[in-house]
Structure 1
Amino acid sequence: MLTDHISIILNGLLLQGLKNAVIAPGSRSTPLALGLAQLADEQKINLFVDVDERSAAFFALGIAKKTNIPVLLVCTSGTAAANFYPAICEAKISHIPLIVLTTDRPPELTNIAAPQAIDQNRFFGNQVKDFIELPLPETNQDSKDYTNYIIQQSFQAAMTNPAGPIHLNQPFRKPLMPDLPLVFDLNQRKYNFLPFISSFNDKLSEKLHNSFENKRGIILAGPQQTPLGNLKMLEWAKKSGWPILADPLSELRGMNSTNLITCYDSLLKIGLKNLDILKPDIVIRTGQTFVAASLVNFLKNSHAQIYFLDENNNHSDYTKTSDFSLNLSSEDFFEKLRPVATSNTWLKKWIDVERIFTSINKNSSVNLLNELDVVRAIAQTCNSNSNLFVSNSMPIRDVDSVLQPTSPLNIFCNRGANGIDGIISTALGISINSTNTLLLTGDLAFFHDMNGLMMAKKYHLKIKIIVINNNGGGIFSFLPQAGSDNFETVFGTPLDIDIAQIATLYNAKYSLATTDKKLKSLLKSPTLGLEIIEVPTNRNENVALRQSLIENFKQQITKEL
């Protein structure tokens, strides 16, 4: 019974396209672990084993974030599953497909204080798209057919918009050893599930075209755009003469188009009171929640009509500013919508502002690197083959502010729940089939997921990690509590960690970069394994550094416009 049951589960996943699995090892998951190991030996899947459940979950998240194909995540019974929780929360909000398969004690060992037994029923609550309790292994054919169907249906459900994690809970009785090797039924039924197709009819398209005609419009391109959606958006914007305010996670930055605007965060921070010429009549929002908080106030204070392309139909507009929400992807919307006529001067004004910002967004003249210079060095050295993973807190904000790459980058960030947990593990998951992955993180996020470095050591993954070491939580210096009594104790939280010793612990190559020249040299060199680049910065100078950029921008705009 057990052997057949495991074969049905794993073969069902293979039939739907499973490529990668991550195991956090334990006793109750023995039959699945051995079956997955067999599939890895037969080169049918890639298998990764991580003894730290929290790291394992973020590692799986990284793989799924890069491939957009569900990754199987397996653990034993008890508190092991609880350590998956942060990554599952991120996957739910970011719409990343995961199959979370927790193994469990059988019903007769629940709620009677049996060892390593907790209530795993709907364990992740609303943080998963669905929960299914799988049946115990049985000889009954109806049970086998049900297992086959529900496994394949769950895989497809994880990918269906809105994508997200599916939780399967599998109880097992002892003995836990299947008969090996597993034999898979070549005639096991494969199910085909047709995706939902949204409709953008001609009548609505024509109505919107007429509404947008001869209006000053902008497109806010948020995170997680598709390549084809970006292409259609750029084509429409070029023909219509509309600027695109490109979030760094839209993956539009670096593309060859004068319609792309990257300076919006700095522009909004200097205030638009004297820049009425840039106020739009129409705003089209695409993608998920943008990085720049300044856009929230912009939308709230705007008198423009705001159209939100809510592809996942989950009303995820935390600004609460959308006048119209359309259940459409960027690809469908901009492919069907006819270009509109717009004054030639509208786009030119935005291009002028972008040109002014580009002229001042230069590396500092002083010898020592600062945190904005690190982002500029990345923009000047990385190329379209690069995967850039950016930590939350200050790194992603700095990337949003000053990243102007010369070619488009594959940029990732855990912007669903916006936490600093699992940063290293997620980046390593993204790196598994790449030789050109870069992680930009701060010292606190680096310390928080230090265990994740073991996966790089174990699987010989190739990644460069830039650790901006300002000895504490830099973002709090920008918040109202900055300068308050006991600020350093409860917010600054200096750790005084020795990055070089951590590198030694995980057999990583360690480098110290204090100049722009040194950092660029390190970034241009081939990535041969795990490399950690420490960039020491001064946390106390961070606020003034960024204020100086804004003030310089303001002066140049006042002078030239």
Structure 2
Amino acid sequence: MTTSRRPFREFDDSHDVESLRLARRVIRGLTMSMRHIVLAPGSRSAPMAYALREAEELGAITVHVRIDERSAAFTALGIALATKRPAGVVTTSGTAAGNLLPAMMEADLSGVPLVAITADRPEELHGTGANQTAWQQGMFAGRVRDEIHLEQGEARLEPESRDDMLAAETQVGLLLRVATGSSPGPVHLNIGFRDPLVPAEPGAKHQQGAQRWARTPFVPRRVSGSGSAEQLRAEIIGGEILGARTVNLPAAGAGERAAQIRTQGEPETQAPSQPPATDAAESAPQLEPRRTVFVMGAEAPAEARELARRLGHPLLAEPSSDARWSDLGAIQGYRLILQAPEGSPASELAGSIERVVVAGRPTLTRPVQQLINRADVEAVQYAPGGEAWFDHRLARRRLVDLPSTALFAGVAPAGWQDAWTERGLAAQRLIDAALTEQETLAQGELSSVRVAQFVAETVKTPLLLGSSSVIRDVDLAAVLNRSVLESEPGQRTRAADDGGRRVYAMRGLAGIDGNLSAASGIALARNTRVTALVGDLTFLHDVNALLVPATEREPDLDIVVVNDSGGAIFDQLEHGAVGRREGQAETVERFFGTPQTVDIEALADAYGHEYHFADDLETLGEGLSGLEDRIGIRIIEVRTDRTILRDFHARLRAAAEDL
């Protein structure tokens, strides 16, 4: 005899309105793996707001409120970027949901688990001309890893069992699993709420907040077949990589020695006549000597950096790769080497490259892209977990494991690393000298490159680099580990581990929107002060990030604004050359330079934030010091002249003839 299954209840809120009951189940599903959520106010999303307040009171989640939806989305993106865990943004219906698109696009190509939670009008209001009603299902199609729609009245509120796959909270939990799966990225949860949207009046038997908001995840965490990055890193350091083969990598500093590769032996139950493993190792092939470089782009896997070091190959590392901190292998001034004039020693060195291993996503300079696409160079993409942006039609193929990457890269020939290190140090001396010369010619006036170099090398906090010129200036000129290199060898430590320093950047689509909001999210997630280094247009494009409701915790954030009154990057592109043609200067300045005259001090005062003006490096250093004495948002403005940059870069390239 069988009995019908009854609803499985962990709490009873049957007295309340259905919209609140659905919102509670959604949040229970979210809190299985989410710790932060950003809410933008709205009426249709009101059930989520009330339920979130209950969950926050019980310590299940931290809620941040922002008025502007685009800023809210990028704040959540910054939180997810810093924590590597899903972070959510809640909006009402209509254009509010549409304002999430830029952050969702960035999260898609950056592989960030951003969760868009959009309230929707119920299905019966669609197609009736009802206010703020738009078709939101599928609105982020092609940008998200997955999406679900929950319609009030159809979503199951009372699960049949603890792991009922049709229950609303279970569906939400599974959606978050997708967001953090083998190919992390954004997901979309759309919820159709019906009136009433406010809690019912509590009755005599109702105890508000009595429900249990969080419980143990119902799906066991999947173990990746290739292992975690931490596991792989441990295996590299230990000298072997487990998989189809075992690779014995050379010890640090022994790049000229070939690494041996042997086929894994049979199980211990093999027949006694089986040759011993040592015989197989002796007859195994050696790694070929190769003149290989590792190009480290944004969010490059750490194990690729360690592999390059073990094989003795140089690193060409962008600032947000987290590979610029090491005092072993990261090449200073690499961009200048790659664009050195033909016939120079640096050009000959770059021209001798045979193979390139790309890790992460390099996006900053054309010289790097030209290297990767050279006809005489073989290039591969190391991407063990896949990359959202990677197209298999690219000339370079994707490698998913370290053994095959080691086989491709080979071992560095004698002197390969030393040659790159020597050229890199010479390039850095040229860059530093050119910046000093520029200050002399400009009679002490700062250039944006010098400001970027100083800030990146000085700050003791996590650093977010704004898109456009700023991050490229840091990439060109900054030695992020300069203090480490200048210390005694016995005292050298990885600077990134000292105080949690790390460089962040949004390189998925590299837009100038949302940079300040993302920095705010990083500060909130890490519970520490963060520095954002941005240009003036990037700052103004996200000025709503300064609008923090009075009820909310203000992020501890220093915003260094390099104010050159417009868009400096276009002068470094081909448009700068067009602007020097007769009769074209005004056109290029109007349509590309977009000059602005905003009073940033007045803007800071209007939002109620502290302001500091720096007219030299000494006052800039003063503005960046005293971290323990500052709370909240502080804006540090440095004014520079963008018209001098093209001549500076031209002089620098000319100086590279003897590099």
- TM-score over 0.5 (shorter chain): yes
Judged with a 3 Å threshold, the aligned counterparts in structure 2 of structure 1 residues 355 and 424 are, in CA distance, closer, same or farther, namely same
Measured after TM superposition, the shift of residue 182 of structure 1 is: 6.0
| Structure 1 residues 503-542: aligned runs within 5 Å | 503-526=604-627, 527-542=630-645
Tell me if the contact between 1:292 and 1:400 (Cα under 8 Å) persists in the aligned partners: no
Distance 2:543 2:122 in 1: 35
* Residue of structure 1 in register with 2:462 after alignment: 387
Distance 2:34 2:511 in 1: 28
CA 112–211 in structure 1, closer or farther in 2 if over 3 Å, else same: farther
Identity of aligned residues (%): 28
Q: Secondary structure at the match of 1:431?
A: helix
Give the conservation status (yes or no) of the 8 Å contact 1:219–1:283: yes
* Cα separation, 1, equivalents of 2:574 and 2:213: 63
What root-mean-square deviation, in Å, do the aligned CA atoms of Structure 1 and Structure 2 show? 2.8
Q: Aligned pair 1:461/2:555, yes or no? A: yes
- Listed one character per residue, the Cα deviations across residues 420-477 of structure 1 (whole Å, up to 9, x for unaligned) are 1111111111111343311111111111111111139742221111111111111111
After alignment, is 97-106 or 263-272 more displaced? 263-272
Q: How far does residue 547 in structure 1 lie from its aligned partner after superposition?
A: 2.4
1:276 aligned residue (345, 348, 365): 348
* Aligned counterpart, 1:417: 509
What corresponds to 1:9 in structure 2? 26
1:240 and 2:308 correspond: no
Select the residue among 521, 535, 560 that pairs with 1:442: 535
Aligned to 1:135: 151
Cα distance, 1:337–1:293 mapped onto 2, change above 3 Å: same
Match of 2:447 in 1: 370
Deviations 1:499-544 (A, max 9, x none): 1101101222211112112112222221432111111111211111
Contact 1:20 1:47 in 2 (8 A): yes
CA displacement at 1:81 relative to structure 2: 0.2
SS in 1 for 2:298: coil
More helix by share: 1
Cα deviation for residue 8 of structure 1 reads 2.0
Mapped to 2, the partners of 1:139 and 1:95 lie a distance apart of 31
Q: How big is each residue's C-alpha offset from its partner over 1:175-232, in whole Å with a ceiling of 9 and x where there is no partner?
A: 1123543623777872224143238743596499958521111111111134xx2xx4
2:170 equivalent among 149, 156, 161? 149
Q: Distance in 1 between matches of 2:408 and 2:641?
A: 51
Q: Which has the larger radius of gyration?
A: 2
User: Any residues of structure 2 matched to 1:196-345 within 5 Å, and which?
Assistant: 196-198=224-226, 201-203=243-245, 206=261, 212-226=287-301, 229=302, 232-257=303-328, 259-271=329-341, 273-274=343-344, 275-278=347-350, 279-314=352-387, 316-317=389-390, 322-328=395-401, 341-345=411-415
Aligned to 2:209: 181
- What's the secondary structure of 2:519's corresponding residue? helix
Match of residue 358 from structure 1 = 428
Where does the alignment leave 5 or more consecutive residues of structure 1 unmatched? none
Select 1:162's aligned residue among 183, 186, 190: 183
Relative distance call for 1:273 and 1:298 in structure 2 (3 A) is farther
**Aligned pairs for 1:391-410 within 5 A:** 391-406=466-481, 407-408=495-496, 409-410=501-502
The alignment status of 1:58 with 2:67, answered yes or no, reads: no
- Say if 1:160 and 1:272 are closer, same or farther in 2 by CA, change over 3 A: farther
Letter in 2 for 1:509: E
Structure 2 counterpart of 1:478, from 540, 548, 572: 572
CA deviations on 1:350-401 (whole Å, 9 max, x unpaired) are 0111110222332525322211111221233123xx2111111111111111
1:148 shift after superposition: 2.4
**Match of 1:525, as an amino acid?**
G
Given candidates 162, 186, 190, the residue that maps to 2:218 is 190
Are the counterparts in 1 of residues 318 and 362 from structure 2 also a CA contact under 8 Å?
A: no
**Structure 1 partner of 2:648:** 545
Alpha-carbon distance change, 123 to 195 in structure 1, aligned in 2, over 3 angstroms: farther
Q: Kindly tell me: are residues 186 and 51 of structure 1, through their superposed partners in 2, closer, same or farther at Cα, counting changes over 3 Å?
A: closer
Amino acid at match of 1:136: Q
**1:496 Cα deviation from its structure 2 partner:** 0.5
Tell me if structure 2 keeps the 8 A contact 1:431–1:462: yes
Deviations 1:248-278 (A, max 9, x none): 1111112221x11132212222245543334
Counterparts of 1:187 and 1:241 in 2: how far apart (Å)? 48
Seen in structure 2, the aligned counterparts of structure 1 residues 392 and 139 have a Cα distance that, compared at 3 Å, is: closer
Asked if the contact 1:68–1:96 (Cα under 8 Å) also holds between the matched residues in 2, the reply is yes
- Residue 498 in 1 paired to residue 515 in 2? no
Residue 90, structure 1, aligned to residue 106, structure 2: yes
Change (3 A) 1:150 1:24: same
On the 8 A contact 2:107/2:113 being kept in 1, the answer is yes
1:311 Cα offset (Å): 2.9
The one-letter code of the counterpart of 2:592 is F
- Structure 1 counterpart of 2:209, one-letter code: P
Alpha-carbon distance, 1:551 to partner: 2.6
Paired with 1:337 and 1:351, the residues of 2 have a C-alpha distance of 24
CA shift at 1:105, angstroms? Answer: 1.1
Change (3 A) 1:135 1:318: closer
CA distance in 2, matches of 1:434, 1:148: 29
What TM-score do you get using the length of structure 2 for normalisation? 0.77
1:400 is paired with a residue of what secondary structure? helix
Corresponding residue pairs, total: 545
Which secondary structure does the structure 1 equivalent of 2:539 belong to? helix
Q: Deviations over 1:154-186 (max 9, x none)?
A: 111111132111101111111112354362377
Equivalent residues of 1:3, 1:182 under 8 A apart: no
Q: Against the structure 1 CA distance between its residues 528 and 192, is the aligned structure 2 distance closer, same or farther, given a 3 Å change threshold?
A: same
SS in 1 for 2:547: helix
Give 1:553 shift.
3.4
- C-alpha displacement of 1:341: 4.2
* Residue pair 1:128, 1:167 contacting (<8 A) in 2 also: yes
**Gap runs ≥5 in structure 2:** 1-17, 201-207, 228-241, 248-260, 264-283, 482-494
Change over 3 Å in CA distance of 1:161–1:211 after alignment to 2: farther
Partners of 2:136 and 2:394 lie apart in 1 by 39
How far did 1:61 drift? Answer: 0.6
Over 3 Å counting, the alpha-carbon distance change for 1:547 and 1:204 in structure 2 is farther
Q: Report the AA paired with residue 414 of structure 1.
A: M
Q: Kindly indicate whether the alpha-carbon contact (under 8 Å) linking 1:7 and 1:182 is maintained by their aligned counterparts in 2.
A: no
Does the 8 Å contact 1:356/1:553 carry over to 2?
no
Name the CA distance, whole Å, in 2 between partners of 1:369 and 1:247.
24
1:97 offset after TM fit, Å?
A: 0.3
